[in-house]
Structure 1
Amino acid sequence: MVDEVVLKNAMETAWMVYRAQHPEVDAHDSRRCLLERHLHSRSEARASDTEQLAGFGIAYLQRLSRDGC
Structure 2
Amino acid sequence: MVDEVLRKAVDTAWTVYLATHRDVADGRRCLLERHLRGKLEASQSETEELTCSGLAYLDRLPRDE
TM over 0.5: yes
**Which ranges of structure 1 fall in alignment gaps of 5 or more residues?**
none
Gaps of 5+ in 2: none
Partner of 1:9: 8
Identity of aligned residues (%): 52
CA distance in 2, matches of 1:65, 1:5: 28
Poorly superposed stretches of 4+, deviation over 3 Å = none
Residue 51 (structure 1) aligns with: 48
Whether 1:21 and 2:20 are equivalent positions in the alignment is yes
Which residue does the alignment assign to 1:34?
A: 31
User: What secondary structure does 1:23 align onto?
Assistant: coil
Separation (CA, whole Å) in 2 of partners of 1:6 and 1:45: 14
Please provide the CA RMSD for this pair: 1.6
Secondary structure at the aligned position of 2:22 is classed as: coil
Equivalent residues, number? 65
2-structure distance, mates of 1:56, 1:25: 18
